[in-house]
Amino acid sequence: MEHARKLVLTSHMPIRWGDQDAMGHVNNTVYFRYMEQARIEWLEACGYCTSVTQTEGPVIVNASCTFQIPFTYPGTVECRMFLGAPGRSSVGTYYELRLVGDERLFAEGAAKLVWINPQTGKSIPLPEALRVAAV
């Protein structure tokens, strides 16, 4: 049986004029920034700072995005973040990006978060608080 994705955060971010490219829509790289911002907000809400001096923390081992409708300036992006089933040292994160006031799905993405010891570069078990958040 597949684990249902659990909604853990909804974040709103303004589309900035400079987010657009020469084609007049938000550049594809910025979508990854929207997802990153939601992920950082969630980690901070769980009590995990993103400082490089930590003895443990997250890294992203893969990320993807499917672009369906282009965002354009002005507007506000709503990013909904979901968690999948946790593994020993990892958890899948999933994202739905919409324009505030518009329920259409503009993009959807994913990123696999792995918990590591930065000194060794090796994976370590997910903190219990993150494991609990995912179920």
* Structure confidence by residue, pLDDT tens digits, 47-81: 886 665 578 889 999 999 999 999 999 999 999 99
Using CA atoms, how far apart are residues 36 and 84, in angstroms rounded to an integer? Answer: 17
Length of the chain: 135
Q: How many CB atoms lie within 10 A of CB 119?
A: 8
127 prior amide bond cis, ω within 30: no
Report d(CA 91, CA 113) in Å as an integer: 5
What is the rounded average pLDDT for all residues in the chain? 92
Is CATH 3.10.129.10 correct for 6-134?
Answer: yes
**Residue extents of the structural domains in the chain:** 6-134
pLDDT value of residue 120? 92
Q: Alpha-carbon distance 70 to 1, whole Å?
A: 34
Encoded tokens for 48: 């995990």
Residue 24 tokens, joined: 């007049």
